[in-house]
Structure 1
Amino acid sequence: MNNVSVAIISDTHGHLDPRIIDIIRECDYAIHAGDICGEDVLAAMQPRSAIVIAVAGNNEPRCMVGFPLPESSELALPGGKICIEHGHEHGHHTPSHESLRQRHPDARVIVYGHTHKMVQDKSANPWVVNPGAAGQTRTHGGSSCLVLTAGNEEWAIQEFRFAD
């Protein structure tokens, strides 16, 4: 199987940066790691396969009433799988990567959001990554996302940040 690409975003809080929409359209799949706060955000996510995986963030109960989302999800890819959750249950201000690794030991990559801060922790397996905030709220220097390229052997992650 050929390499596949996955756009990874989080923490849009009702607004998805149009530059990130363009990145998503170039990818095979898209992941949203919670705090979506608007069905229009999910509708704007249009990867090539039309497959979007989204999980609930801690703000979903009040901003997406009647639109249930799972607390965690998975995406099987060549060479492994991605596990996705918002991360707020693993420590409020700084989710524990060790706790995430214990919950998802069979993942190749674990995606979380919540902190609005971009992180790539490749110090142990599985990798633990956070795409930062893809909207306008607490972007820490600009809206951001990650793109994972997955093949049977090699996986790589590219960072994107757009100045406010």
Structure 2
Amino acid sequence: MNKTSQIRIGIISDTHGHLDPRIAALLADCDIAVHAGDIMGQTVLEDMRPRSGRVVAVRGNNDTEQVWHRDEHAALGEIGEEASIELPGGSLAVVHGHQYGGNHPQHDSMRERFPAARAIVYGHSHSMVCDLNTSPWVINPGAAGRIRTRGGPSCLILEASQGEWQLCERRFSEAGT
């Protein structure tokens, strides 16, 4: 990847077994798709399909063998609790967030854990957050499925180049219109 390249990363979380098709369509136009946990099924990962085919996912507190179908346990076993992605201009750390303060993950704790990252993605709360005033950024795409979407399924699109990162918030209506 040269220094002038720009890549597009689709960021989702908290699908709970269902990826909203409007978000899947956005991910198809991305270079990389990121899932910050509570996936709850291999079908969601298959439906993410970015241009490159590269999907990065972490386990959420609901990503357990009791929840995933028995035939999907091998795929679940390959998903870790953290991930790091090298992008133009810095790295993106990915966690689910429940490890950093329960229902209200603490941004300072995540920043202490990943001080070298340019941004940290987390899920768990189902609430979109873009804390961009302190480095590293701490961002949450909200919920990309049907459960507790807090206004409709949502995601974030990150455009990363060596010199600049831009974040776009996307939210769809609850009704699917």
- TM above 0.5, one fold? yes
**Partner of residue 115, structure 1:** 125
Matches for 1:1-164 after TM superposition, within 5 Å:
1=2, 2-61=5-64, 62-64=66-68, 66=73, 67-68=76-77, 69-164=79-174
Alpha-carbon separation, structure 2, partners of 1:113 and 1:147: 15
Query: Runs of 5+ in structure 1 lacking a partner?
Result: none
Between 1:57-66 and 1:129-138, the stretch displaced more is 57-66
Query: Runs of 5+ in structure 2 lacking a partner?
Result: none
Structure number with greater Rg is: 2
- Residue type at the aligned position of 1:24: L
- Aligned-residue offset at 1:123: 1.8
Q: Deviations over 1:31-84 (max 9, x none)?
A: 000000010000001101100000000000132262221000011000101000
Alpha-carbon separation, structure 1, partners of 2:15 and 2:42: 11
**TM-score, normalisation: structure 1:** 0.98
Quick one: percent identity of the two aligned structures? 51
Runs of 4+ in 1 over 4 A off after TM superposition: none
CA RMSD of aligned residues (A): 0.8
Alpha-carbon separation, structure 2, partners of 1:78 and 1:122: 18
**TM-score, normalisation: structure 2:** 0.91
